[in-house]
A and B are shown apart, each in its own frame.
Chain A
Amino acid sequence: MSDLRTTGVQGAMPDGAAELLLAAPPKPWYWWLVSDRAARYTARVAFVLVWQWAGTTFEEIPAPTETIEFLIEEFQRSEVFPNIAISLMRAVTALSVVLVLGISIGIAMARWWRVRYYLTDLILVGITLPAFIWALLVVMWWGFSNIGPIAVCILSATPQLVVNTFQGATATPGKLLAMSDAFHVSNRRQFRWLTIPSMMEYIAAGFRSAVLAGWGAVLLVEWFGNDKGVGFRAHYWYDARSFEGMMAWGLVMMIIILAFDRIVMDRVVKAARRWRIGTQEWSG
């Protein structure tokens, strides 16, 4: 064990030296202002303050208090949870399909050159085509139904995940693949132990972009051509010339995406990077 890398202190030392070296330095009185947590909360408070200032200065911008009051009224009209539930159902359904399609296509493009050449241009078109074009098309094709938002979400978000998965699959270390072949490791185990873990960070990053693109697409279709959902409700208040209504539902959209990012995506990314973090702690 003598050649273990550690960040600790080894060997003979004067009494108390190890404690001195290992002790954390004292925190200054203003640490809560300069810590990472303080930075996050400061940004949030500053955002609300700027918003409040803008709300009181410009008539067209509703202040936070007015927006919250409006949201409470919507809640009392039983509009908040049913519309959120419908939008979330559409987004979750579509993003589940995106996850399966995006990873499969990305791996297939990396594995088989024919698939790569067939799909490269299509994926490029998928990334560059604005979601509102799809939104208008699906409204014309399917009218007011669940199919439209789900289809546009899949069309807009899948290319994002495909590109990242493809990059991850081509980045699988060739030396580790050769090692696996030399030891005759089965394809199934290679896929589970080598291919997928080596791609996890790429997949997580791709899925994060896909969720942002997909959520935007669902809201857009709901806005353009639907009679339920968060996007529809925002459009409803837009037609009614209610700035508070639009701002309130805009706030709902932001809170949902931020909550998903913090609660789900942060954990997925952390899990994908766990081994790396463990390694950094040791190698100092």
Chain B
Amino acid sequence: MARLIARDVKKVFAPTRQGQPPVVALRNISFEAEGHTFVTLVGPSGCGKSTFLNMVSGIERPSGGTLEVIGRTEGDARIGYVFQDPRLLPWKTVLQNMEYVLDDDAAEARSERGRRFLDLVNLSATAEMYPGQLSGGMQQRVGIARAMSIEPDLLLMDEPFSHLDAITARDLRVELQRLWLETQATILFVTHDVMEAVLLSSRVIMMSSQGVVFRDLDIDLPFPRKQTDKEVAILQAEILELFEEMERPMVDA
């Protein structure tokens, strides 16, 4: 579990060519998340959700404001990342891909831990296969197992199911709920799918296309949830209405 504190976070991308204006991806993002919680940033494409995740992971730096992740122990917090695409090394086996991110000194310890977390997503039989030999859904499950295997204080997930077919994505959402309930992790999830946000999250942060937080909502429904739950459908409709409200001034203008 971790504590994430974002205060007035801004991100401006410098122009890559002469004459281009700078791109403001995030204007002013402030929120905190702590403990066994599943927070989802939901918003339209280009609102800066993925940029925010990249800054939390350290891949990118904020242009302004502060971002802090406090882990269970002293020192740097452990942050796992599940990307939109699985991002596996195609020339390494599934098990080697797991071992790649592990920092245990002994090779046996890395291998044992890798196998243990592959087992968690029911993929231990694929340990010696290459990623290209697996389906898209299986590759994404390896990506989830890899991120889980470092036993992260904070798990970042950037639209991890958006490239998958509907049936596989539905199965993986069920599996993710199970994993989250088992591991007590703090998860920061990004999606543009409101149904997915309501189904998985304990809290939904709505972002506008201007790169600011529009609403911060608690989703007070019991876990595990199903796509077919009526409460999920009702909440989804309510959040979609809020998005319509958010976009109304722009449409009217």
**Residues of B contacting A112 with CB < 8 Å?**
none
Residue A183 lies at the interface, judged by CB distance under 8 Å to chain B: yes
Bound: A282/B129 CA distance, A: 10
- Which residues of chain A have a CB within 8 Å of any CB of chain B? 1, 3-5, 175-176, 178-186, 189, 193-194, 197-198, 200, 275-276, 278-279, 282-283
Binds A, one of B81-89, B196-204, B211-219: B81-89
**Residues of B contacting A282 with CB < 8 Å?**
129-130, 132-133
Residue B134 lies at the interface, judged by CB distance under 8 Å to chain A: yes
Selected from A3, A189, A197, the residue in CB contact (under 8 A) with B138 is A3
Q: Contact: A278 with B133, CB < 8 Å?
A: yes
Q: Contact: B100 with A193, CB < 8 Å?
A: yes
Q: A3-B168, A182-B58, A278-B130 are in contact. Are A176 and B135 (CB under 8 A)?
A: no
Q: Contact: A3 with B137, CB < 8 Å?
A: yes
Bound: A182/B92 CA distance, A: 19
Q: Contacts A193-B89, A276-B132 known; list 17 others, CB within 8 Å.
A: A3-B135, A3-B168, A4-B135, A5-B134, A175-B87, A179-B83, A182-B79, A183-B81, A183-B146, A184-B103, A197-B92, A278-B133, A279-B132, A282-B130, A282-B132, A282-B133, A283-B132
Residue B90 lies at the interface, judged by CB distance under 8 Å to chain A: yes
Number of interface residues of B (CB under 8 A): 33
Residues 84-119 of chain B, each 1 if its beta carbon lies under 8 Å from chain A, else 0: 010101111000100011010000000000000000
Residue B57 lies at the interface, judged by CB distance under 8 Å to chain A: yes
Q: Contact: A182 with B57, CB < 8 Å?
A: yes
**Residues of B contacting A186 with CB < 8 Å?**
103
Bound: A191/B47 CA distance, A: 34
**Residues of B contacting A179 with CB < 8 Å?**
81, 83, 87
Q: Contact: B89 with A1, CB < 8 Å?
A: no
Q: Contact: A194 with B81, CB < 8 Å?
A: no
Bound: A276/B130 CA distance, A: 9
**Residues of A contacting B253 with CB < 8 Å?**
none
**Residues of B contacting A3 with CB < 8 Å?**
135, 137-138, 168
Bound: A57/B252 CA distance, A: 91
**Residues of B contacting A4 with CB < 8 Å?**
126, 133-135, 138
Residue of A nearest to B138 (CB): A3
Residue of A nearest to B86 (CB): A179
Residue B150 lies at the interface, judged by CB distance under 8 Å to chain A: yes
Selected from B83, B85, B89, B135, the residue in CB contact (under 8 A) with A194 is B89
By Cβ-Cβ distance, the 10 closest A-B pairs, closest first, are A279-B132, A183-B101, A282-B133, A275-B91, A179-B87, A182-B81, A3-B135, A182-B57, A197-B91, A275-B130
A281 smallest CB distance to B (angstroms): 8
Residue B125 lies at the interface, judged by CB distance under 8 Å to chain A: yes
Bound: A5/B129 CA distance, A: 12
